[in-house]
């Protein structure tokens, strides 16, 4: 099974790490390996927001040679480019960063569902999938938390086919 190296950017809630690892195993047939916690890089931060692109660069720079991909998860709020916030970002066939700062809820299951959706969404991008016009597909762009709550945790049939094709090319079938 191919390895994905995971890093916490700042201290993580244990259940977030557990849910992310479960998604990576079940949906992507990857073996998550938690590599440890990293301090957030405040370069180009805006107040309490971190630049997602820099966090992703840090994670990718630490990816061990035996890992296929790398991922970062953080409790810090993120922004990227001209977007005032992002739930996460990804580079195709390299890795992702997800923030759960805006996913928090007093409803534990709702919070964990949001985490699963965002990890799944960013990993879809890692496998080369674009945003999907189907509002129920996990690959639908979330412009707000409402959008995240309305979409499902799974890929629509079209995106699932694209994912399976990308996984097959990497020998992950």
Catalytic residue list = 122
Q: What is the DSSP code string of 89-135?
A: EEETTTEEEEE-TTT--SSHHHHHHHHHHHHHHHHHHHTT----S-T
Q: What is the DSSP letter of 138?
A: T
For residues 91-105, give the mean pLDDT. Answer: 98
Name the band, by pLDDT with cuts 50, 70 and 90, for residue 173.
confident
Average pLDDT over the chain reads 97
Output the DSSP codes for 10-61: S---HHHHHHHHHHHHHHH-EEEEEEEEE----TT-BTTBEEHHHHHHHHHH
Contacts of 114 (CB under 8 A, 6+ apart): 100, 103, 105, 145, 148, 149
Which tokens go with 156? 């629509």
Determine the average pLDDT of the residues in 112-128.
98
Each residue of 12-53: pLDDT tens digit?
999 999 999 999 999 999 999 999 999 999 999 999 999 999
pTM of the predicted model, to two decimals?
A: 0.97
């Amino acid at each position: 099974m191919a390895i994905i190296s995971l890093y916490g950017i700042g201290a993580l809630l244990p259940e977030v790490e557990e849910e992310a690892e479960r998604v990576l195993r079940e949906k992507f047939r990857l073996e998550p390996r938690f590599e440890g916690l990293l301090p957030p890089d405040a370069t180009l931060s805006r107040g309490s927001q971190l630049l997602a692109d820099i966090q992703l660069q840090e994670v990718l720079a630490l990816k061990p040679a035996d890992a296929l991909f790398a991922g970062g998860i953080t409790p810090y709020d993120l922004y990227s480019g001209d977007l005032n916030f992002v739930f996460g970002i990804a580079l195709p066939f390299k890795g992702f960063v997800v923030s759960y700062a805006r996913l928090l809820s007093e409803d534990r299951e709702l919070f964990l569902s949001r985490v699963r959706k965002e990890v799944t969404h960013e990993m879809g991008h890692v496998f080369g999938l674009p945003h999907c016009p189907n509002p129920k597909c996990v690959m639908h762009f979330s412009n707000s938390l409402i959008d995240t709550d309305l979409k499902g945790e799974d890929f629509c049939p079209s995106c699932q086919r694209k994912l399976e094709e990308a996984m097959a090319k990497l020998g992950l079938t």
